[in-house]
């Protein structure tokens, strides 16, 4: 949190300054929205949680009231400065699904953890806002009870597509978001309209039918939720549908036709590490905790821990049809973690059947 001594009316010319600095820091977009206007997103989130579609993400329920509106979290918020950083992959990430003896990691996690990368640069911009306006500011990168995507649509960065993620006409589906909330009044930009039309490519691409209707998600069926947020064993139907996806899922994002306008990420720290683009399942299943932490240092994958990750890998082993992976699964059948053992036994049964 930043604060300057006294609030001054100096906001009329701050937007060009911030946009220029944001571009120099590697952001692809810097736009402004009112943080005080009413919106319907809070009611939609309450409906999502009320129907249990958040699964085991209990934090969504406990922070529901604060998430309902930016001012529910910070009553002094007047302006949201929304930043987008491009992380476009250099190829269609779905191509890796063909190699069933390799694991597929969501392309947002091929490089360094975006949370740490973006947060430091938001603090740089927030310092300018505080200094130039005298107003208090706060920064957010996907870890606080703030709904960034509705703010991004209001600021004109894009719109929430039928897969509920942000889509940009300039950057497709590949934007990380960061937000600076300020107590200063800064003129807002125009909101972006929905440009999905009749297209349903993202909905049809989902391997687990996680969208009960356009613009609605049931996280309990989503492979990103299951591989990252869910701690226990999975229902068998989702184990099979996962194929060789071992961390996240890019299918609905990659299917969007607006990606034809997307460009490859410029930020070096977000570009792919070669060892994470098509890692071999045999090597991943053998990871102990120390080796897991070393392989995924500075990566968002490290956040889920070794046991949850190896569980995912073993589901992929079971789907591989590769008999040479039986010894790998057999070794993990003696693992200290019961969920890993369960996944290993399931993988062995699948490989025997194949």
Which active-site residues does the annotation give? 142
**β-sheet bridge partners, residue 30:** 83
CA dist., res. 78 & res. 73, Å (int):
12
**Contact status, residue 167 vs residue 256, Cβ threshold 8 Å:** yes
Vertex 154, ends 79 and 36: CA angle to 5°?
A: 40
Question: What are the residues facing 81 on neighbouring strands?
Answer: 32, 180
Q: How many CB atoms lie within 10 A of CB 197?
A: 8
Q: Which strands form 175-182's sheet, in the order they lie side by side?
A: 29-34, 79-86, 175-182, 137-140
Quote the CA–CA distance of 187 and 13 in Å, as a whole number: 10
Q: Would you tell me the crossing angle of helices 338-353 and 306-320 to the nearest 10 degrees?
A: 10
CA–CA separation, 264 and 256 (whole Å):
16
- Per the listing, tokens 């990103």 go with 224
The CA-CA-CA angle for residues 209, 220, 208, to 5°, reads 20
Q: Are 320 and 100 in contact (CB under 8 A)?
A: yes
Map residue 107 onto helix, strand or coil.
Answer: helix
Residue partners of 185: CB distance under 8 A and separation at least 6: 11, 78, 79
14-24 helix and 114-133 helix, angle to the nearest 10 degrees: 150
Q: How many CB atoms lie within 10 A of CB 20?
A: 11
Neighbours of 290 (CB within 10 A): 9
Distance CA 233, CA 151 (A): 35
């Amino acid at each position: 949190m930043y604060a300057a001594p006294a609030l001054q009316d100096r906001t009329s010319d701050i937007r060009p300054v911030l946009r220029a600095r944001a571009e120099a820091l590697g952001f692809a977009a810097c736009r402004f929205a009112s943080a005080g206007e009413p919106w319907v997103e809070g009611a939609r989130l309450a409906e999502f949680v009320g129907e249990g579609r958040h699964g085991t993400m209990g934090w969504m329920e406990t922070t529901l009231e604060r998430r309902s509106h930016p001012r529910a979290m910070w009553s002094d918020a007047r302006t949201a400065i929304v930043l987008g950083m491009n992380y476009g992959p250099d190829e269609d990430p779905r191509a890796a699904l063909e190699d069933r003896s390799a694991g597929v990691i969501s392309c947002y996690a091929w490089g360094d953890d975006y949370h740490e990368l973006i947060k430091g640069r938001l603090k740089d911009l927030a310092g300018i806002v505080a200094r130039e306006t005298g107003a208090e500011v706060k920064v957010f990168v996907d870890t606080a009870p703030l709904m960034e995507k509705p703010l991004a649509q209001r600021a004109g960065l894009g719109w929430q597509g039928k897969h509920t993620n942000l889509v940009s006409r300039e950057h497709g589906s590949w934007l990380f978001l960061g937000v600076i909330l300020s107590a200063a009044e800064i003129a807002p930009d125009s909101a972006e309209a929905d440009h999905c039309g009749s297209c349903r490519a993202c909905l049809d691409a989902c391997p687990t039918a996680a969208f009960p209707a356009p613009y609605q998600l049931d996280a309990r069926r989503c492979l990103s939720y299951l591989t990252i947020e869910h701690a226990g064993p999975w229902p068998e139907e989702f184990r099979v549908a996962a194929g060789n996806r071992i961390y996240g899922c890019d299918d609905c994002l990659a299917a969007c036709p607006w990606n034809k306008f997307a460009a490859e990420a410029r930020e070096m720290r977000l570009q792919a590490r070669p060892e994470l683009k098509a890692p071999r399942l045999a090597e991943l299943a053998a990871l102990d905790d120390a080796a897991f932490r070393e392989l995924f240092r500075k990566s968002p994958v490290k956040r889920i821990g070794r046991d949850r990750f190896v569980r995912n890998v073993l589901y992929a082993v079971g789907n591989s049809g590769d008999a040479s992976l039986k010894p790998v699964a057999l070794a993990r059948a003696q693992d200290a973690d019961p969920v890993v053992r369960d996944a290993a036994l399931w993988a062995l049964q699948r490989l025997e059947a194949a």
